A and B are shown apart, each in its own frame.
Chain A
Amino acid sequence: MPDRDFSRNLAGSHHPAGHHMTRKAGLMILSCGLLFSGVLAISKGAFQIPVEHLLDWLTGNGGALDTVSTNVLISIRLPRVLLGLVTGASLGAAGAAMQALFRNPLAEPGLVGLSAGASLGAIAAIVLTPGGFYLIGSFAFAGSVITTHLAFVLGERSSGVSGLLLAGVAINAITFSLMGLIIISADDAQLRDLTFWNMGSLAGASWQVLAVLVPWVLLGVLVMMGRWRILNALLLGEREAHHLGYALQVIRWQIIALVALTVGPVVAVTGGIGFVGLVMPHLVRMWLGADHRWVLPASALAGALGLTFADVLARVVIAPAELPIGLVTSLVGGPFFVWMLLKGRAR
């Protein structure tokens, strides 16, 4: 019975202490970790800003930082770290919501073709238009919304979740072949851009982008967090959720739209960053249990935390050059996920 296995994985195989106190402590620990990793991420990189100078500057001791440091901090590090935070938070929360909605632990925004749609849009923009951040971003966003919408419309024709999953598979396949077609006609410079975008990067961070992205994503994540009861009810089953007053046709649409609206703009800026939306919610469930009241905020925090650390790694490992962050999350997240699967099986 695959469904049973799914929900077992979905639920986490651990039985942690189920006290609210522990969960609150969990959120506290995650927040502290996030603060720590944020400071670390601001400090480390090709240009080092010593942590003690940073703390002095933060506490208002003017003159702790020289002009170069201040410039790097304000115009490069801070926006980049903030972009990492909102990206990780949106991927983590969206992953948790999708896994609950599909009652499938493999669900993540990529499942319904969202990431592939964004990639197709970005690639089209890079190859077919003059390019530039705004064109690429808006094409990617449009692509993610179109594919998600298509997956939903197609999936709606058959009842249950399987229709949507199958539609996602088909849309992913079509989207990837279209990408291939476009890539064939790309020149060398475009190809480099493409590869980089596809592997994900936080280099597109700027205050201009963040001014839109941060409030947008935070709002999306907050609204998602408000839906915890529905996601809990879905743990019982789709029929049970319906009996508890949640009209599934409406709910499914709401949550997918919410995910597309939250993750789409982020993917448009950062490119495909894998495994954060998949792994972080799993870890959170193993640690705090399956109650989405806690899983959603904790996944958002854990996603932000994980991505910030991945960004530090990406910048430090081959400094002064840097790795695409999507490469780091996949390199760390992939084997980790395999380990988790094996461990789950051994139980």
Chain B
Amino acid sequence: MNAFETCALSVRRGSRDVIREVSIKLRVGEVVGVLGPNGAGKSSLLGAMAGELPARTGEVLIDGKSLADMDALAQARIRAVLPQHAALTFDLGLADVIRMGAYPFPEATPTQVDDWVRQSVLDADLTHLEAARYGELSGGEAQRVQFARVLVQARAAAAATGHAYILLDEPTSSLDPRHQLFVMHRVHQLARSENFGVLIVMHDINLAAQWCSRIVLLNDGMVASDALPASALTPETLEHVFGMPMRVFPHPLVPQRILVLAHGNGL
């Protein structure tokens, strides 16, 4: 059974258990949104799944294999990660940065890599910037370049294994509204068309509600809710997790989806 999962995972940072007994499952073809207030453990969960933070108890499994038993290269060949902040200032061509996604796949031919790069450039809406140098880009453009790099890695992994997992840490944080939608829409499409399982840590509840197939709500290091957006994001759960009243409406434009409005002054 192909899945990327955490089993009763606890992660300790300093003297604090930032993740406690978290069991979630990311399947191929799914886009799972991880939401929660600051300090809920979103980034720690992502860090543990990215192989950066060790599990204190429990474990992380990729396709049934413990992450702890896989070296960095084996992990990179099945799972791509987009961290929150990318280095901005070095002098490489855009394509050179995006091609790095294929570094873990030395067996890929240049033609294959060119192909993945071309598709990923489209997926990140970078066509008009292709000739630019990375150091000249704005923060949002650089974020999209990193997104494209991650897509190349996932495409290469899917070519090698048949599927791939992607972890995205706030991939839309620096993007303008159009590109926020653009990227989320592409992620949604690619998960199905390319056999990607995508886990996204984000803050925008509505973006997640519209484009994710499932929502994991984290609160104080534990899973408060793990279900379809409409079931996970109820006014009661939202108020409990975020500590403020929220109202949930059927999405006026997208059938089967919901729209969440904060209702209150945040106190």
Residue of B nearest to A249 (CB): B72
- For the complex, give the distance between the alpha carbons of A18 and B96 in Å: 10
B86 near A14: Cβ-Cβ < 8 Å: no
A4 near B89: Cβ-Cβ < 8 Å: yes
Give the chain B neighbours of A240 by CB distance below 8 A: 81, 83, 86-87
B87 near A245: Cβ-Cβ < 8 Å: no
Q: Is B73 on the interface with A (CB-CB < 8 A)?
A: yes
Q: Is A157 on the interface with B (CB-CB < 8 A)?
A: no
Q: Is A8 on the interface with B (CB-CB < 8 A)?
A: yes
A8 near B89: Cβ-Cβ < 8 Å: yes
B91 near A289: Cβ-Cβ < 8 Å: yes
Instruction: Kindly supply a per-residue 1/0 record for chain A positions 81-101, scoring 1 wherever the CB is within 8 Å of any chain B CB and 0 otherwise.
Output: 000000000000000000000
Name the interface residues of A269-325: CB closer than 8 Å to any CB of B.
285, 289-291
Instruction: Tell me whether A244 and B91 are in contact in the complex, defined as CB-CB below 8 angstroms, given that A15-B133, A15-B135, A236-B100 are known contacts.
Output: no
B153 near A7: Cβ-Cβ < 8 Å: no
A286 to chain B, nearest CB (A): 9
Q: Is A44 on the interface with B (CB-CB < 8 A)?
A: no
Give the chain B neighbours of A8 by CB distance below 8 A: 89-90, 135
Give the chain A neighbours of B92 by CB distance below 8 A: 11, 18, 232, 235, 289-291
Instruction: Tell me whether A245 and B91 are in contact in the complex, defined as CB-CB below 8 angstroms, given that A15-B136, A233-B103 are known contacts.
Output: no
CB within 8 Å of A: which residues of B?
Answer: 50-52, 71-77, 80-81, 83, 86-93, 96-97, 100-101, 103-104, 133, 135-136, 146, 153
B82 to chain A, nearest CB (A): 9
Q: Is A343 on the interface with B (CB-CB < 8 A)?
A: no
A-B contacts, 23 listed (Cβ < 8 Å): A8-B89, A8-B90, A11-B135, A12-B91, A15-B136, A18-B93, A232-B103, A233-B103, A236-B86, A236-B146, A237-B83, A239-B50, A239-B52, A243-B83, A244-B100, A244-B101, A244-B153, A245-B73, A245-B76, A245-B103, A245-B104, A246-B72, A290-B92
Give the chain A neighbours of B75 by CB distance below 8 A: 243, 245
Give the chain A neighbours of B86 by CB distance below 8 A: 236-237, 240
B54 to chain A, nearest CB (A): 12
B189 to chain A, nearest CB (A): 23
- For the complex, give the distance between the alpha carbons of A14 and B135 in Å: 9
- For the complex, give the distance between the alpha carbons of A12 and B136 in Å: 12
- For the complex, give the distance between the alpha carbons of A285 and B136 in Å: 16
Instruction: Tell me whether A18 and B90 are in contact in the complex, defined as CB-CB below 8 angstroms, given that A244-B100, A244-B103 are known contacts.
Output: no
Category for how many chain A residues contact B: 20 to 34
Closest 8 CB pairs of A and B: A245-B76, A11-B90, A245-B73, A245-B104, A247-B72, A243-B81, A18-B93, A8-B89
A243 near B76: Cβ-Cβ < 8 Å: yes
A245 near B77: Cβ-Cβ < 8 Å: yes
B91 near A290: Cβ-Cβ < 8 Å: yes
Give the chain B neighbours of A285 by CB distance below 8 A: 91
B171 to chain A, nearest CB (A): 14
- For the complex, give the distance between the alpha carbons of A120 and B256 in Å: 74
Q: Compute the total of residue contacts between A and B using a CB distance below 8 Å.
A: 91
B90 near A7: Cβ-Cβ < 8 Å: yes
B72 near A242: Cβ-Cβ < 8 Å: yes
B267 to chain A, nearest CB (A): 33
A7 near B81: Cβ-Cβ < 8 Å: no
- For the complex, give the distance between the alpha carbons of A285 and B133 in Å: 13
Q: CB < 8 Å: which of B72, B80, B83, B96 contacts A291?
A: B96
Q: CB < 8 Å: which of B72, B88, B93 contacts A245?
A: B72
Give the chain B neighbours of A232 by CB distance below 8 A: 92, 96, 100, 103
B133 near A244: Cβ-Cβ < 8 Å: no
Q: Is A149 on the interface with B (CB-CB < 8 A)?
A: no
- For the complex, give the distance between the alpha carbons of A291 and B90 in Å: 9
A235 near B90: Cβ-Cβ < 8 Å: yes
Q: CB < 8 Å: which of B87, B91, B133 contacts A236?
A: B87
Q: CB < 8 Å: which of B52, B77, B87 contacts A7?
A: B87
B83 near A239: Cβ-Cβ < 8 Å: yes
Instruction: Tell me whether A243 and B50 are in contact in the complex, defined as CB-CB below 8 angstroms, given that A11-B135, A236-B100 are known contacts.
Output: yes
- For the complex, give the distance between the alpha carbons of A106 and B26 in Å: 43
Give the chain A neighbours of B146 by CB distance below 8 A: 236
A184 to chain B, nearest CB (A): 46
Q: Is A229 on the interface with B (CB-CB < 8 A)?
A: yes
Residue of B nearest to A6 (CB): B89
Q: CB < 8 Å: which of B50, B52, B74, B91 contacts A15?
A: B91
- For the complex, give the distance between the alpha carbons of A346 and B79 in Å: 42
Give the chain A neighbours of B72 by CB distance below 8 A: 242, 245-247
Q: CB < 8 Å: which of A14, A233, A239, A242 contacts B91?
A: A14
Give the chain A neighbours of B74 by CB distance below 8 A: 245
Give the chain A neighbours of B76 by CB distance below 8 A: 243-245
B100 near A247: Cβ-Cβ < 8 Å: no
Give the chain B neighbours of A18 by CB distance below 8 A: 92-93, 96, 133
- For the complex, give the distance between the alpha carbons of A285 and B92 in Å: 10
A219 to chain B, nearest CB (A): 21
Give the chain A neighbours of B96 by CB distance below 8 A: 18, 232, 291
Give the chain A neighbours of B153 by CB distance below 8 A: 244
If A15-B91, A236-B86, A239-B50 are given as contacts, then 17 extra A-B residue pairs at C-beta distance below 8 Å, sorted by A number, are A7-B89, A8-B135, A11-B92, A11-B135, A16-B91, A18-B92, A18-B96, A232-B100, A236-B100, A240-B86, A245-B72, A245-B73, A245-B76, A245-B103, A246-B73, A247-B73, A285-B91
Q: Is A116 on the interface with B (CB-CB < 8 A)?
A: no
